[in-house]
Amino acid sequence: MLFSAACSGEKQADQVAQPSPSTASSPAPAPVTVAVTAPAADATGVAASAEIAYKSDDPAGTTVEVKDAAGKTVAGTQDKDAKVFRPAKALSWGKKYTVTVASTAGAGGSTASSFTVMKKPGKLVSAQSNLSEGQTVGVGMPLMIIFDRDVPKKQRAAVERRMQVTATPAQEGSWSWTRSNEVHYRPKVYWQAKTKLSYRLHLAGVPMGDGYYGGSELTGTAKIGRSLVMTVDNKTKIMTVERDGKVAKKIPVSMGKSGFPTVSGTMLVMSKERRTVFNTIGRFTGEDAYNKEIEYAQRLTWGGQYIHAAPWSNWAQGNSNVSHGCLNVSQGLGAWLFENTTLGDPVVIRGTGAPLENGDGWTDWNVSWAKWRKGSAL
């Protein structure tokens, strides 16, 4: 019995020395490494348009908080894939900010870094948009941004990166520089009818060459209305008006006579004037010199090509060209067009033999998509 007891005691000792897996301690979680990578710690002269870049071993569980010197949190959006925090608006000139990056995973991890925004520069560049807030426009209307000075080529990529356009529903689009101080945004094909547009230009503090910087932010919204496209065929002398993909009206036209050709290409309705005066005295002589009141005029080119009512040429509309380059229509159909069009509606003219020159009006659709994209600095 003593022997049995001794053996039993040895087994109990072995069990105590080797605890079961269920009671073994787990290894401590590894700490997560986080860091602010831009702006650099204690950096000064940081652009007011700066974004906050960081790194983290746990992107999904990492948060970013930016506060000003008074402790007020800066609103913005965090892109966890790109590991970037983008302030909702430009940071204040000359102010100090603190960034805190933290992870909630494992043992967690946290770091803080501060930087100071550049003082307000003396040389600032302003920008304006062609679209007024909430404006409804046609399916061909580009967003046009005009700066008050030329932007050097080497600065244009940085400028484009700070200009955001959002379309709902989403549509492929691109910026393209049409002049050294002007950049336009258009989709690959005409905007979808009823699209909602918004844009935000984060340009404050962006270098624009020769000691100039972007002066402020520019935001806005617009709406695309119904689709209305006018197509004119010189062979038939008929304008076909399509609304939302269906033929709404066929309109007889008369275009430019010999020596005054109507240009062919894709253009847009640029302005509308219920009544205006066309005065060619001093430019032309004889019967080509006139000073005449015109009704229902819609501009297509800077060079002076319009759609307008011309009751004096009713006899020619639909069969011969007698105008000085404009598209003549009857009084009644001129009024109908005027009532049904909006700025940015496309007008496609074919077969006149005189090509539209790019830049003579809003000619964004007169180039291929491939060529358009080549105009982007990106």
Ranges assigned E (strand) in 188-320? 196-202, 213-214, 217-224, 228-233, 238-243, 246-252, 265-268, 271-279, 291-299, 306-309
Nearest to 136 by CA among 228, 199, 221, 218: 221
The class (CATH top level) of 34-117 is mainly beta
Q: Which pLDDT score is estimated for 26?
A: 60
Q: pLDDT tens across 97-115, in order? A: 999 999 877 666 889 999 9
What's the CATH superfamily of 228-363?
Answer: L,D-transpeptidase catalytic domain-like (2.40.440.10)
Residues 158-164, mean pLDDT to the nearest whole number: 93
Distance separating alpha carbons of residues 110 and 64, to the nearest angstrom: 10
Q: pLDDT tens across 187-229, in order? A: 999 999 999 999 999 899 898 999 999 987 899 999 999 999 9
> How sure is the predictor about 96, in pLDDT bands with cuts at 50, 70 and 90?
very high
Judge whether residue 21 has pLDDT over 90.
no
Instruction: Quickly list H helices, the chain.
Output: 2-17, 153-161, 331-340, 369-374
Q: Do domains 34-117 and 124-225 have the same CATH topology?
A: yes
In the chain, what is the greatest distance between 2 CA atoms, to the nearest angstrom?
141
The class (CATH top level) of 124-225 is mainly beta
Q: Is the peptide bond before 142 cis (omega within 30 degrees of 0)?
A: no
Residues 293-316, mean pLDDT to the nearest whole number: 97
Residue with tokens 């105590």: 16
Q: Which pLDDT score is estimated for 107?
A: 62
Judge whether residue 19 has pLDDT over 90.
no
Residues 51-63, mean pLDDT to the nearest whole number: 91
For the chain, what are the domain ranges?
34-117, 124-225, 228-363
Q: Which pLDDT score is estimated for 12?
A: 46
Q: Which pLDDT score is estimated for 251?
A: 98
